[in-house]
Amino acid sequence: MEPVVLKRPEHNVSRKNISSAAIKVLYRLKDEGYTAYIAGGGVRDLLLNRHPKDFDVATDATPEQIRKMFRNCRLIGRRFRLAHILFRGEVIETATFRAPVPEDEEAHPENIFRTGEEGMVMRDNVFGTPEQDALRRDFTINALFYNIADFSIIDYAGGLEDLKKKTIRVIGDPDTRFTEDPVRMIRAARFAGTLGFEIEKEAYDSICRNKDKLELAASSRMYEEVQKLFFCGHAKQVFQWLEKTDLLHPMNQDFSHWIDEDKARHDWVIQTLEQMDRWRKANLRVHPALLFALLFGEYHEFLMQQLVDAGTPPHDAAREAVHKHLQGICTNVRVPKQVIYQVSDIMSNQLRLQQTKGRRPQRFLHHKGFLDAFLYFKVSSKAHGRNEELLEFWSKLREEKK
């Protein structure tokens, strides 16, 4: 199929807005005679006048050819080898155009795995044409290319139209594509929330039909995507899409039922997400443990109270509640053990913030878990209009330390 091509005067993408590292990679590939495109989210964001998070390059050079061209290059990936070209403060992910995996091979992976040089099991690279590479991507707006050779935009999937219409549209048949990789459903919610787009009707209906397949997604991939949902700076809108599509339910059943029971619980979640978004806007780094502590905080406190009522000492109850809940999620979203421990630290340290007598506060102030515990305490106290005096006490102590 012939793609739609927008020549340089017909679009707004300027080299000025592309990182110098990405420009270097593109020109190097081009000068060696290869095709070199920016692909995916970078092109989408440039066309929307948004600031791209990063730039991915797609090319017809093979990973080995790329490695020979760049001294600062590492090949990664077991199934499909990608080149990471390292610059100071930036990595340009450079991938060879990729073909879709033929269906019969997808069904019988044992036929195409072989033992690689390092003795690991790896799948042969399945290189493809630019068109195939575009069409294997998830949504039309994520399938655009920027060609460094003539500064044109190349569109094989109708992404330009959908950018204009502000639409998230699946490439190909939604049921097939969501079954193939269920993570795409939460990606749809993320892009709709972040960009302020609508999910196109067929895709939307398909998500409603297929949402339970999310439980089948690879748990490590889910963890990555779940973090992106809440760290994207538009967590509130993304969450609203997760609710609208009911994707929240297969992601975390108990939590989602618990929210549905009481509007106040729902309000808490929305408030913490607004806080996350404010922090992101201010360019503050929030790490995953604080995110999970805040997001699930009310729920964890609820579980804790149940344990305390049943006779568990409060400190143990905090740890037990967090571990039970987050470990339960782990079958679906592989939350790293370390993060679970940090979340339970935040929750159990809430008890230490209640104590203001003697030398304990000073000691706790210098403890490495203090800041996260305090931030949680501050957000939750403000949300509930409680602990005013305690907040003042700790804020003052922090000021004095500075």
310 burial (CB, 10 Å; 0-12 / 13-18 / 19+) is exposed
Least CB distance from residue 226 to Mg ion, whole Å? 16
Size of the site for Mg ion (CB under 5 A): 1
Of 60, 133, 138, 155, which is the active-site residue? 138
- Specify the residue, 175 or 301, whose C-beta has the smaller distance to ligand ATP: 175
Q: What is the rounded CA–CA span in Å between residue 323 and residue 305? A: 15
Under rule CB under 6 A, residue 60 binds ligand ATP: no
Least CB distance from residue 395 to ligand ATP, whole Å? 35
Helices 263-281 and 288-309 sit at what angle, rounded to 10 degrees?
160
142 binds, among ligand ATP, Mg ion, none (CB under 5 to 8 A by kind): ligand ATP
183 binds, among Mg ion, ligand ATP, none (CB under 5 to 8 A by kind): ligand ATP
212 is catalytic: no
Least CB distance from residue 231 to Mg ion, whole Å? 13
206 burial (CB, 10 Å; 0-12 / 13-18 / 19+) is buried
Under rule CB under 6 A, residue 50 binds ligand ATP: no
- Specify the residue, 41 or 288, whose C-beta has the smaller distance to Mg ion: 41
From candidates 26, 37, 40, 326, binder to ligand ATP by CB under 6 A: 40
From candidates 8, 15, 53, 281, binder to ligand ATP by CB under 6 A: 53
Least CB distance from residue 142 to ligand ATP, whole Å? 3
Restricted to residues 236-295, the positions that interact with Mg ion (CB under 5 A) are none
Least CB distance from residue 127 to ligand ATP, whole Å? 16
- Specify the residue, 3 or 41, whose C-beta has the smaller distance to Mg ion: 41
81 binds, among Mg ion, ligand ATP, none (CB under 5 to 8 A by kind): none
Amino acid at 393: F
Least CB distance from residue 246 to ligand ATP, whole Å? 20
124 is catalytic: no
Under rule CB under 5 A, residue 52 binds Mg ion: no
Under rule CB under 5 A, residue 41 binds Mg ion: yes
Under rule CB under 6 A, residue 130 binds ligand ATP: no
Interface segment toward ligand ATP; rule CB under 6 A; list 75-83, 137-145, 348-356, 371-379: 137-145
Least CB distance from residue 247 to ligand ATP, whole Å? 15
Q: What is the CA radius of gyration of the chain?
A: 24
- Specify the residue, 82 or 346, whose C-beta has the smaller distance to ligand ATP: 82
From candidates 133, 138, 155, 200, binder to ligand ATP by CB under 6 A: 138
Q: Which residues, other chains included, contact 175 with Cβ-Cβ below 8 Å and sequence gap of 6+?
A: 206, 209, 210
Restricted to residues 170-209, the positions that interact with ligand ATP (CB under 6 A) are 181, 183-184
What is the CB-side half-sphere exposure of residue 53 using CA atoms within 13 A? Answer: 8
Phi, psi of 148 (to 5 degrees): -70, -20
Residues catalogued as catalytic: 54, 56, 138
**By the criterion CB under 6 A, which residues form the site for ligand ATP?**
40-41, 53, 56, 137-138, 142-143, 181, 183-184, 228
**By the criterion CB under 5 A, which residues form the site for Mg ion?**
41
